[in-house]
């Protein structure tokens, strides 16, 4: 695939982002587009490796290796190199319902397992994927497709995040009548309210895809919480099958002294407030304007909190990470094709550094307690450094005596991940959970203990990547179709 010896001729290159000090003035996407010639050069770097780990998609050492939805990456790299853009789009659409989502927000485990990455920087797979799908929209290749035959079967999909949308899209293609229930006022789940607009545009990208799905015959019901606005029992009476794609939405809390002091919020509440205010043209319910912000958690959500705080006009922002600072290069205990656990600077940290002159992250830091001011709201947080010590066969963080310090903070955001799906609806449907509190449904059939109820996405597998959610939605749709029809042609 690509050009013979192309990986020897061309260096890895990405399009330039908008300058940090300019892009923080608005909420628009910050990635620029790469000229076609540059994209062809990047496609040429795909090296005909024989065993392309980029599209393997499995878990290795607890981390994702390759593309979970098994994108045919070498094939569409080759088409881009040759200038066959519509063929590239057709290959991409075979495996990915929403390349415009993954091309923007996926961390690209495909690149981490790229064979070229053993000896040189890997192929720019994510950027090529983004370029293919945006070219397809510009050329009019992405359009609603009529469903030739309807089966007469009705399926309810609960949740409109990436798993729910992928499941609904596949089931609709199979000819079933699909209704997507969403308790929020807009569709997209995590992609709508959990990821900021500058990372994933809600109108130009998310709603663009929703409108196509509506045109193809899928029914969307907003402001409809199943189990509250819509009785769970009615769901089972009116539909032939149900797929639960409710996500993993219970945030992990922090059991530290002073946790109940006002001014401490979960990251998702903060991000949702910011995006909803932007879309509604109102002031956010939780604002970082003029505040000293401390973000606790070093993942993607924490980064989004940093970037959102900056755009809202925070006074300062610090990001606390309990893990040590990663190395600059792969270590011997982190070999290819594992996900490379190396130091990276994401967009939020780049913006904070441009403003303040330094990376906002502080590594190996533990939160000990929150401190209230005279007005009763939070004014500071006490932290200390930690060492990671082996105890009972596992590493645990241990505070380092004498390293305590007080950090000013009048807005604290907890971005420490999620612990499972909300339980009210699951209790009403009497759906069995596993030992991690996720919905119990096997990888093989995606069916719960109830014959006509299936599950997919973070609600089933736990907090994960958007690309895994798409895989889950597609897989659950296939097994749901098999249950309804006795056989299935869905991939």
Q: Is pLDDT at 48 greater than 90 in this prediction?
A: no
Q: Is pLDDT at 149 greater than 90 in this prediction?
A: yes
Angle at 487 between CA 439 and CA 442, to 5 degrees: 20
Report helix, strand or coil for 336.
coil
Tokens of 160: 């409109």
What is the average per-residue pLDDT within 344-357? Answer: 97
What is the average per-residue pLDDT within 336-354? Answer: 97
Q: Is pLDDT at 184 greater than 80 in this prediction?
A: yes
Contacts 24+ apart (CB under 8 A), 434-439: 436/462, 438/248, 438/462, 439/244
- Scan for tokens 């705080």, then name that residue: 309
pLDDT at residue 324 in the model: 96
Tokens of 169: 């899209």
The residues pairing with 407 across neighbouring beta strands, listed in sequence order, are 381
Note whether 473 and 170 are within 8 A (CB).
Answer: yes
Q: Is pLDDT at 458 greater than 80 in this prediction?
A: yes
Q: Where are the alpha helices (DSSP H) in 181-227?
A: 190-193, 208-215
pLDDT at residue 476 in the model: 98
Question: How many angstroms separate the CA atoms of 36 and 450, rounded?
Answer: 51
Tokens of 154: 């009705």
104 confidence band (pLDDT: 50, 70, 90): very high
Query: Which of 307, 178, 301 is CA-nearest to residue 248?
Result: 301
pLDDT at residue 212 in the model: 98
Tokens of 78: 């080759």
Query: Which of 349, 341, 259 is CA-nearest to residue 302?
Result: 349
475 confidence band (pLDDT: 50, 70, 90): very high
pLDDT at residue 3 in the model: 86
DSSP string covering 385-450: EEEEEEETTEEEEEE-TT--EEEE-SEEEE---B----SHHHHHHT--B-TTSSB---TTT-B-SS
Note whether 162 and 190 are within 8 A (CB).
Answer: yes
pTM of the model: 0.96
Note whether 229 and 239 are within 8 A (CB).
Answer: no
- Report the percent of the chain where pLDDT is more than 70: 100
Phi, psi of 426 (to 5 degrees): -65, -40
What is the average per-residue pLDDT within 29-44? Answer: 96
Q: Is pLDDT at 30 greater than 80 in this prediction?
A: yes
The CA R_g of the chain, rounded to the nearest whole Å, is 23
pLDDT at residue 153 in the model: 98
The residues pairing with 319 across neighbouring beta strands, listed in sequence order, are 295, 361
Q: Which pLDDT tens digit goes with each residue over 220-252?
A: 999 999 999 999 999 999 999 999 999 999 999
pLDDT at residue 1 in the model: 62
Q: What share of the chain is helix, strand, coil (3-state, %, to 5)?
A: 35, 20, 45
Q: Which domains does the chain have, with CATH numbers?
A: 6-139 (1.10.1060.10), 154-249+419-485 (3.50.50.60), 264-414 (3.50.50.60)
What is the average per-residue pLDDT within 373-391? Answer: 96
Question: How many angstroms separate the CA atoms of 212 and 296, rounded?
Answer: 38
- Helix 85-95, helix 73-82: angle, nearest 10: 170
The gap between the terminal CA atoms of the chain, to the nearest Å, is: 24
pLDDT at residue 393 in the model: 87
pLDDT at residue 207 in the model: 98
Q: Are strands 365-372 and 378-391 parallel, antiparallel or unpaired?
A: antiparallel
Question: How many angstroms separate the CA atoms of 485 and 450, rounded?
Answer: 18
144 confidence band (pLDDT: 50, 70, 90): very high
């Amino acid at each position: 695939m690509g050009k013979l010896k192309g990986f020897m001729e061309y260096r890895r290159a990405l399009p330039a982002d908008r300058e940090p000090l300019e892009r923080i003035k608005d909420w628009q996407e910050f990635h620029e587009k790469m000229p076609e010639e540059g994209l062809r050069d990047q496609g040429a770097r795909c090296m005909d490796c024989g065993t392309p780990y980029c599209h393997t998609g499995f878990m290795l050492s607890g981390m994702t290796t390759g593309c979970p939805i098994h994108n045919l990456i070498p094939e569409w790299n080759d088409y881009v190199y040759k200038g066959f853009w519509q063929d590239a789009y057709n290959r991409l659409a075979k495996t990915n319902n929403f390349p415009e989502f993954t091309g923007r927000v996926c961390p690209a485990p495909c690149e981490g397992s790229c064979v070229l990455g053993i000896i040189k920087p890997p192929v720019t797979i994510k950027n090529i994927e983004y370029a293919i799908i945006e070219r397809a929209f510009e050329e009019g290749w992405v359009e609603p497709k009529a469903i030739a035959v309807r089966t007469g079967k009705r399926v309810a999909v609960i949740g409109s995040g990436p798993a729910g949308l992928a499941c609904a899209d596949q089931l609709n293609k199979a000819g079933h009548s699909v209704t997507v229930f969403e308790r929020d006022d807009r569709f997209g789940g995590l992609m709508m309210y959990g990821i900021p607009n500058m990372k994933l545009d809600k109108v130009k990208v998310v709603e663009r895809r929703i409108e196509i799905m509506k045109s193809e015959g899928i029914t969307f019901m907003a402001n409809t919480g199943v189990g509250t606005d819509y009785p769970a029992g009615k769901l089972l009476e009116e539909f032939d099958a149900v797929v639960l794609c409710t996500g993993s939405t219970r945030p992990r809390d922090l059991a530290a002294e002073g946790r109940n002091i006002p001014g401490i919020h979960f990251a998702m509440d903060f991000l949702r407030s910011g995006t909803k205010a932007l879309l509604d043209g109102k002031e956010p319910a939780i604002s970082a304007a003029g505040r000293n912000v401390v973000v606790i958690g070093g993942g993607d959500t924490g980064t989004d909190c940093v970037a959102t705080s900056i755009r809202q006009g925070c006074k300062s922002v610090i990001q606390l990470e309990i893990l040590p600072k990663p190395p600059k290069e792969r270590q011997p205990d982190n070999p290819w094709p594992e996900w490379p656990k190396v130091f990276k600077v994401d967009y939020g940290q780049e913006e904070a550094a441009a403003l303040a002159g330094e990376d906002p992250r502080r590594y190996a830091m533990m939160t000990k307690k929150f401190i209230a001011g005279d007005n009763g709201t939070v004014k500071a947080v006490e932290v200390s450094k930690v060492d990671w010590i082996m105890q009972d066969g596992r590493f645990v963080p241990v505070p380092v005596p004498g390293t305590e310090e007080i950090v000013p903070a009048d807005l604290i955001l907890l971005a420490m991940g999620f612990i499972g799906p909300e339980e009210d609806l699951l209790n009403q449907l009497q759906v069995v959970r596993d030992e991690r509190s996720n919905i119990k449904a096997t990888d093989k059939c995606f069916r719960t203990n109830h014959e006509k109820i299936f599950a997919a996405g973070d609600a089933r597998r736990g907090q994960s990547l958007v690309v895994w959610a798409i895989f889950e939605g597609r897989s659950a749709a296939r097994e749901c179709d098999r249950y309804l029809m006795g056989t299935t042609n869905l991939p």
